[in-house]
């Protein structure tokens, strides 16, 4: 068995020293697509922020490729190969699509390399090529989310973390987003995503963790979770 690319052990994390996440453990294997699912307020974003270094654990350990990153800052985890696309997109509204993308590669110094990656991503996201010179604020919600995803890929992450990318999108766009993430994963990038859209996320994931008020209440293969009566009752209205 290969070693996990990400291993979180007994993680407590929260705000101002008060935990909202209580002792969760999870791991992601190289090449996997793993989903953390749960209701609004369960602690998903807090976990993601802590893994990527925007917050630090109150207790517990986070290993990335065997390195303890619990006390790393976000720019350090990015350098190691972790890219986080936060909830709510956070693109630069007044900057062009192209410029937004280029900023995603800010750890890379070579202009030629940045250009190469830009070209590659515009190939994958043709809708962004058509709008490359427009300011980001002129894009639709779905296009802005595509831009946020593409920008997150500009650093060529080993672990790509996505926070509620389906939020506020219409169903057809959500489906497109899920297809895009599947394709990115098939092309070799390891993905960890969090979603309130439990069914949609589990349909593309290999494995999943269900989180409720800061604790993992269930985990398993995506199939097992999709078939679980508890999960179906609690999150799929069945």
Ligand X SMILES: Nc1ncnc2c1ncn2[C@@H]1O[C@H](COP(=O)(O)OP(=O)(O)O)[C@@H](O)[C@H]1O
| Residue written as token pair 């002129």 | 138
The reply to whether 155 sits near Mg ion by the rule CB under 5 A is no
Measured distance CA(186)–CA(115) in Å, rounded: 23
Binding to ligand X by CB under 6 A, coded x per residue (else -) over 45-84, reads: xx--------------------------------------
Return the axis-axis angle of helices 111-124 and 141-153, rounded to nearest 10°: 140
Options 4, 21, 32, 45; binder of Mg ion; rule CB under 5 A: 45
Q: Which is nearer to ligand X, 51 or 128 (CB)?
A: 51
Q: Tell me the closest approach of the beta carbon of residue 148 to ligand X, in angstroms.
A: 16
The reply to whether 46 sits near Mg ion by the rule CB under 5 A is no
Dig out the tokens for 156 from the structure: 């060529």
- Stretch in the footprint of ligand X (CB under 6 A) among 39-47, 90-98, 102-110, 182-190: 39-47
The reply to whether 106 sits near ligand X by the rule CB under 6 A is no
- Stretch in the footprint of ligand X (CB under 6 A) among 34-42, 69-77, 112-120, 180-188: 34-42
Options 3, 41, 88, 119; binder of ligand X; rule CB under 6 A: 41
Measured distance CA(163)–CA(161) in Å, rounded: 7
Helix, strand, or coil (residue 216): strand
Q: Which of 194, 234, 221, 213 is nearest to 35 (CA)?
A: 194
Widest CA span of the chain, in angstroms?
Answer: 52
Measured distance CA(119)–CA(107) in Å, rounded: 18
- Count of residues touching Mg ion (by CB under 5 A): 3
CA angle centred on 150, ends 203 and 97, rounded to 5°: 140
Options 7, 44, 131, 151; binder of ligand X; rule CB under 6 A: 44
Binding site for ligand X (CB under 6 A): 15, 20, 38, 40-46
């Amino acid at each position: 068995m290969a070693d996990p690319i990400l291993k979180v052990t007994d993680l407590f994390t929260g705000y101002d020293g008060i935990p909202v996440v209580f002792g969760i453990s999870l791991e992601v294997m190289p090449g996997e697509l793993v989903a953390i699912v749960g209701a609004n307020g369960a602690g998903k974003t807090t976990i993601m922020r802590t893994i990527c270094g925007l917050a630090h654990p109150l207790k517990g350990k986070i290993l990335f490729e065997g390195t303890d990153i619990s006390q790393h800052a976000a720019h350090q985890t990015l350098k190691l190969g972790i890219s986080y696309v936060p909830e709510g997109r956070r693109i630069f509204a007044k900057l062009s699509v192209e410029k937004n993308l280029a900023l995603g590669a800010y750890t890379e110094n070579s202009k030629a390399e940045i250009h190469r990656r830009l070209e590659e991503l515009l190939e994958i996201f043709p809708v962004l090529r058509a709008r490359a010179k427009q300011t980001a604020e002129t894009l639709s919600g779905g296009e802005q989310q595509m831009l946020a995803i593409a920008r997150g890929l500009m650093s060529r992450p080993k672990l790509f973390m996505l926070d509620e990318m389906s939020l506020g999108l219409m169903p057809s766009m959500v489906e497109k987003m899920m297809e895009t993430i599947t394709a990115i994963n098939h092309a070799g990038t390891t993905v960890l995503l969090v979603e309130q859209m439990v069914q949609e996320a589990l349909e593309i994931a290999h494995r999943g963790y269900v989180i409720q008020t800061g604790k993992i209440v269930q985990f398993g293969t995506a199939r097992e979770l999709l078939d679980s009566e508890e999960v179906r009752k609690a999150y799929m209205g069945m």
